[in-house]
Amino acid sequence: MGQSVVSVVCVLSLIVGTCFASSQVSDRITELPGQPKNVGFAQYSGYVTVNEQAGRALFYWLVETPASRKPESRPLVLWLNGGPGCSSVAYGAAEEIGPFHIRPDGKTLYLNPYAWSSLANLLFLESPAGVGFSYTNTSSDLYTAGDKKTAEDAYTFLVNWFERFPQYKHRDFYIAGESYAGHYVPQLSQIVYQRNKGVQNPIINFKGFLVGNAVTDDYHDYVGTFEYWWTHGLISDSTYRLLRVACDFGSSQHPSLECMKALNVAVLEQGKIDPYSIYTRPCNNTQSLKRELKGHYPWMSRAYDPCTDRYSEVYFNRPEVQKALHANLTRISYPWKTCSDIVGNYWADSPLSMLPIYQELIAAGLRIWVYSGDTDAVVPVTATRYSIDALKLPTITNWYPWYDNGKVGGWSQVYKGLTFVTVTGAGHEVPLHRPRQAFILFKSFLENKPLPS
């Protein structure tokens, strides 16, 4: 989508005479239903086509830094949620790092005091097609989504999005995400890094990435997860021994029958807890405890849910909200959901390890931070530590506690080429459970400074 396709109009903006694409102007959100008045920042949302032939279009929501904080001087951060098949609008935007959270009535919004958008311009992407408002006119796409296509489509999205928002073309750019975005973020980072070297491709001013409670390497993730369950008293000694023998730690895409049986026993032993946040009460609906024991990470259900995502399911299905967001223009034949079961259940390809990509991008000198909430039993801190350890990086700054108002906020270790941070008392979605500590972490990442010690 070049300049020839998108007509360019000059609109009066804060900087008189700035030229914006006309489609950018039509993507401007005037106001969301139920939002507080006079918020002081601009928002845009809409669709970017990533494959004309198949009719694949991805939905985005851009939240700029408040005008008082000079958005034009702030970096751009793309946020991706995982699943696979879960919406960045439902999780990242609406209950973690976005400017608004949804009240239990499903109708009104309130300001998030720890919104990451006060530090950077945030771009939320519902990816791949079939997730949230993102759609495809080729229904087979829903059954063939996988890591490779997701990364390629996300790159195409970025290239086309920068054409629509040329004022961001040369801005410092970072990619962030959590959970299964532990695959999306490094894979997209690798494509951006590699294509930046090509003569034909537009240069994206890519500086680095940030991932939290990230699926990283199957072998180490399995070992570390079973160990976490056992050391936190969630399973018996005998089940722990059985899991270690029966689950062959990432040598194949699908666990054996013996492994599945052992995992079923582990689920029964763990009981009615929220595995995404083991010390907080689960939502009082058994649906939130449903675990789909299939696929790549058999203990990982599709979404974290102590009720907050119920509110987004109500809010984003309201016709007036969709109209304000310029969403669902083609009237997709299904309701908006926080996670797509079809996309998640039929996931096509998922490499066993992201570590080779880490090695390539560390060598390239990109900024890489990995963080972990330490009360998550789905992609636990032990899994992440084993994965990082496998990179065999030299230590620059040894393990140290970091502080927020005199209280330990977590721990950190700085390696050559990678910074690891834990957030104490946080579950799978760190900014949901520990919003203030997550904000401090994000600020340190952007400034490339160690956490306050």
Q: Is the pTM value of this prediction over 0.85? A: yes
pLDDT, mean of residues 404-422: 97
- What three-state secondary structure class fits 361? helix
Euclidean distance between CA atoms 126 and 50, whole angstroms: 13
pLDDT of residue 2: 42
Domains 28-202+311-324 and 355-447 are alike in CATH topology? yes
Per-residue model confidence (pLDDT) at position 333: 80
Domains of the chain, residue spans: 28-202+311-324, 219-299, 355-447
- pLDDT given for residue 294 in this prediction: 38
| pLDDT above 60 (res 130) | yes
What's the pLDDT at 104? 87
What does each C-alpha distance from 81 to 112, 182, 184, 318 come to in angstroms? Answer: 19, 9, 9, 22
Amino acid identity, position 4: S
- Model confidence band, residue 9 (pLDDT cutoffs 50, 70, 90): very low
pLDDT tops 50 at residue 266: yes
Catalytically annotated residues: 179, 376, 428
Q: What percent of the chain has pLDDT above 90? A: 81
pLDDT of residue 308: 75
Asked if 316 and 90 count as a contact pair (C-beta separation under 8 A), the reply is yes
Structure tokens at 113: 């005091």
Which residue is it, tokens 């998922």? 350
Residue 260 above 70 pLDDT? Answer: yes
What is the distance between the alpha carbons of residues 74 and 67, in angstroms, rounded to a whole number?
11
Instruction: Judge whether residue 180 has pLDDT over 90.
Output: yes
Fold type of domain 28-202+311-324 = Rossmann fold (3.40.50)
Contact of 422 with 383, CB cutoff 8 Å: no
Mean pLDDT within 259-285: 88
Report pLDDT for 284. Answer: 67
Q: Record the tokens describing residue 404, joined without a space.
A: 């927020």
Q: Give the Cα-Cα-Cα angle 92, 162, 325 (nearest 5 degrees).
A: 45
**Gap between the Cα atoms of 232 and 407, Å rounded:** 23
Q: Residue 68: is it exposed, middle or buried by C-beta count within 10 angstroms (0-12/13-18/19+)?
A: exposed
Length of the chain: 453
Class of CATH domain 355-447: alpha beta
Mind listing the pLDDT tens digit for each residue in 328-371? 988 878 899 999 999 999 999 999 999 999 999 999 999 999 99
Kindly indicate the confidence band of residue 253, based on its pLDDT and cuts at 50, 70 and 90: low
